[in-house]
Amino acid sequence: MRNRMIQRQIQFSLRVKRFGFTNVELLLVICIVTILIAIISPLIIYSRESSRMLQCQQNMKQLGLGLQAYQTTHGSLPPAAVWSTNELHSLALNMSTRPDLFTHANWALMLLPFIGEEQLANQMDYHQKISSKQNSPIRKATLSLMSCPEDDYSQPGNSHQFEPISGSAVEFARGNYAINGGSHNMRLTPGSTTIPTGDGAELKMDQENRVFQYWGNGVAGINIAFQPDDFVNGNSSLVVLDEVRAGIHPVDPRGVWAFGQIGGSITWAHGVNGDDYGPNNQWPRSDDILGCARLHETVGTETLTREGMPCVSYLDSNTNATARSRHTGGANVLFLDGASRFISDEIDPGLWHAIHSREAPADLFDSEHFAEQLSTENVNVEAELQNQFSDLKPSNEYPSELTNSLDMYFKLIPAGEFTMGVQDKGNHFNPPPETPAHVVTITTDYFLGSFEVTQSQYEQVMGSNPSHHLSEQSGEQKYDSYPVEQLTWYQAQDFCKRLSALPEEQAAGRTYRLPTEAEW
C-alpha cells in the first residue's frame, strides 16, 4: 500500500508542469545573450559608421552637382571667396587679422541657388560683408548638406565665434566641406632647389585700380575663378572639394561653411613641399590659421594634440590648412567628375599633391589603375626592401666604394639607426628643411651615388637627353659632364630600371633604384 502511494506521488510529480529556469539554464541564457551582444555590437557600430560615411559622401556629391550647375550657368567654377578692396586702405588682405571687414560671399554662398536653398539665397545681400547684420541669419544657418554626421563638433552649440574686438563676436555656423585652393607652397615665391620648395601662391595687388587676387594651383582662388580649360589633368583626377573638421572650440575658425577664409571653407597650401601635406596631418606646424595662439591658450596644446587638430601657435594668419575628418584613417574628397572617394591618411604625399593641382600633367595618372593608386598606402620602403636583400653580404665584405660600367661613383653606406633632421624649436616662421628630428633605421647596407647623373651617362642608358643646356645649343661649351635636367620622377625610375638591365651591370650583380629620403 505504501509503495503504491509513493508511486502515485512520483507519477503526479512528473505530471506537474514546471515553471521558470534553473540556475544552470539562466546562466546559459545569459552567456548566449552576452556572446550575441559581443558579436552584434561591433556590427551595429560599423553599420552606423558606414551610414554616416555614406551620408557624408552623398552630401559631397550633391554639392558636386551644384558646382556643375554653377559652371554650366556661369562658364566657370565659383571663386573660393570674394574679398572686397573697398573697406581697407591696405591691399595686404591675406595678412589681415580682420577678415570680417572685407570677406563677402564664398563658394558655398554662391552655390545656394543651385543646391535647393533658393530661399536662403534670396535673403543674402551679396553686396554686403558676410559679417554684416543683414547677413546674420545666413551665416548662422545650420545646413545639413554642409555637415558630415560623423563630426560631433559640427553642431549649433559649437558655432564659431569670431571676436576681433572684445565683446563684439560674429557668429558662424559650422560646416565640413571646403573648396580646394591648391597644394602649392604657402610662400609667395617661386620654387627653389636650395631650400627644396615648390612654387608658391600667386598674389596680385594693384593699388591704383584697387585689385586684389590670391590663388594657387587648386580649382578656385580669392577673387579669381577658373574655367574648364584651366584644368589640364582631367575631371576624374582633380579634387574640387575636401572634407574638413569643425573647430573643437568656438574660438577655432576651422570648418565654417559661410566664411570665405583659408581653414574655414578653403583648403590651401597642403602639398608635399609644405608642412601640412596629406589629410589629417599631425605635425604641430600644420594648419596656419588666424587665432591659433588664442586657441592654444583656451583649450591647451595637449587637447589640440589629443583631438588631432594641431595648428601653429605663433602665427596669426590664415595661410595653410589641409583636409581633416572624424572618420577613422582618412578623409573624403570630391573629384570634378562628381566621384566621392575616401582617401587614406597614408596616401603617397606626392599623389595627394598631384590630385589637388590643376597644373599636374594628365599623363601623370594611370587612368586604368587610378583607383588602385589612391588606395595604395605610403609604406616604409626600407622595410619592404629588408626581406628582398636579406641574403646580401654583411658590410665588412663589401668594398667601401665602387665605380660601375658608366663611371658612376658610389660609396658604401652601412645599415644602422640615426637621428635625421634637427629639432623644430625656436625656428618660428622659417624652419630649416631638416625639421622635425626623428629616428630613422636603415635596415640594409647600400651604395649611394656620390654625384649627379651626367647628361652623357643618361643618354648612354636612355638614348635621349631632355636637358635644357645641350652641347649642340651652346657653341663651344660642352655639357656632357653636367647633371641631366628636366626629368620627371617616372623618367628617373625608368633610368634606374634600364641601368640595372645593362649586361655589364647584370654580370656584376648590381641593381639600381632611387634612394629613400632617409637614405639620401
145-173 per-position pLDDT tens digit: 999 999 999 999 999 999 988 778 999 99
Phi and psi at 371, nearest 5°, equal -60, -40
- 112 lies in some domain: yes
Ranked by mean pLDDT, the top range of 24-33, 261-270, 365-374 is 261-270
Output the pLDDT for position 375: 77
What pLDDT is stored for residue 421 in this prediction?
Answer: 74
How many alpha carbons lie under 13 Å from residue 229 in its C-beta half-sphere?
1
What is the tens place of the pLDDT at every residue in 465-494?
888 776 555 455 577 888 988 887 778 889
- Check whether residue 158 and residue 287 sit in a common domain: yes
| Between 354 and 520, the higher pLDDT residue | 354
Select from 349, 375, 401 the last residue of a domain.
375
pLDDT of 225 > 90? The answer is: yes
Residue at 461 is within a domain: no
Percentage of the chain exceeding pLDDT 70: 84
Q: Please provide the DSSP assignment of 16-71 as one string.
A: SPP-S--HHHHHHHHHHHHHHHHHHHHHHHHHHHHHHHHHHHHHHHHHHHHHHHHH
Q: Are residue 385 and residue 370 in the same domain, yes or no?
A: no
| Distance, CA of 309 to CA of 326 (rounded, Å) | 11
Is a pLDDT exceeding 50 seen at residue 383?
no
**Residue 343, domain member (yes or no):** yes
Q: What local confidence, expressed as pLDDT, does residue 381 receive?
A: 45
State whether 396 and 262 are in the same domain: no
pLDDT in tens, 505-514: 999 999 999 8
**The predicted structure's pLDDT at residue 92:** 93
Give every CB contact of residue 262 below 8 A, 6+ residues apart in sequence. 181, 268, 269, 289, 318, 319, 320, 321
Grid cell locating 325: 575628418
Q: Nine-digit cell at 320?
A: 595653410
Number of folded domains that form the chain: 2
Residue 240, classed as helix, strand or coil, is strand
Q: Please report the pLDDT score of residue 269 as a whole number.
A: 94
- Which helix (H) or strand (E) segment is 87 a member of? none
* pLDDT of 303 strictly over 90: yes
Residue 1 has pLDDT above 70, yes or no: no
Question: 232 falls in which pLDDT band (50, 70, 90)?
Answer: confident
| Domain final residue, candidates 342, 375, 408 | 375
- Residue 514, domain member (yes or no): no
Q: Are 257 and 265 in contact (CB under 8 A)?
A: yes
Where residue 384 falls among pLDDT bands split at 50, 70, 90?
Answer: very low
Q: 204 and 171 in one domain? A: yes
Do 396 and 249 reside in the same domain of the chain?
A: no
Q: What is the pLDDT of residues 174-221, one digit of tens each?
A: 999 999 999 998 888 766 655 556 678 999 999 999 999 999 999 999
**348 assigned to some structural domain:** yes
pLDDT at position 29, please? 76
Rounded Cα distance between 427 and 148, Å, is 36
* 391 and 371 co-located in one domain: no
**Of 493, 271, 287, 462, nearest in space to 360 by CA:** 271
Ranking 90-94, 303-307, 333-337, 491-495 by mean pLDDT, the lowest is 491-495
Q: Is the pLDDT of residue 235 over 80?
A: yes
Tell me the residue ranges of DSSP E strands in 188-309: 202-206, 211-215, 220-221, 224-225, 239-243, 266-267
Domain check: are 341 and 397 in the same one?
A: no
Residue of 189, 96, 221 lying closest to 430 (CA atoms): 189
What number is the average pLDDT over the span 48-73?
94
- Identify the pLDDT of residue 21: 62
Cβ neighbours for 109, distance < 8 A, ≥ 6 positions apart:
121, 124, 126, 130, 138, 258, 260
Other CB atoms within 10 Å distance of the CB of residue 170:
19
Confidence bin at 387 (pLDDT 50/70/90): very low
Mean pLDDT, rounded, for 210-238: 94
In-domain check, residue 422:
yes
The answer on 421 and 385 residing in a single domain is: yes
Q: Are residues 387 and 416 in the same domain?
A: yes
pLDDT mean across residues, the chain:
86
Domain of 266 in residue numbering reads as: 52-375
**Cell numbers describing residue 278:** 596629406
Measured between alpha carbons, how far is 153 from 250 in angstroms, rounded to an integer? 10
Confidence grade of residue 73 (pLDDT, cut at 50, 70, 90): very high
Beta strands in 406-502 (DSSP E): 409-413, 416-420, 438-442, 446-449
**Per-residue pLDDT tens over the stretch 245-294:** 999 999 999 999 999 999 999 999 998 888 888 999 998 889 999 999 99
Q: Do residue 164 and residue 312 come from a single domain?
A: yes
* ∠ CA 38-40-46, rounded to 5°: 110
Q: Answer whether residue 410 shows pLDDT above 50.
A: yes
Tell me, what's the pLDDT at 357? 94
Please tell me whether residues 389 and 363 are part of one structural domain.
no
Inter-residue contact 213 to 203 (CB < 8 Å): yes
Q: Are residues 426 and 368 in the same domain?
A: no
More confident position, 25 or 152: 152
Phi, psi of 84 (to 5 degrees): -80, 145
Is residue 465 situated within a structural domain? no
Segment holding 273, helix H or strand E: none
Domain final residue, candidates 321, 341, 375: 375
Assess whether pLDDT exceeds 60 at residue 395. no
Query: Is residue 77 one of the residues assigned to a domain?
Result: yes
Q: Take residue 415 and report the three cell numbers written for it.
A: 645599415
pLDDT of residue 4: 60
Predicted confidence at residue 210, as pLDDT, reads 95
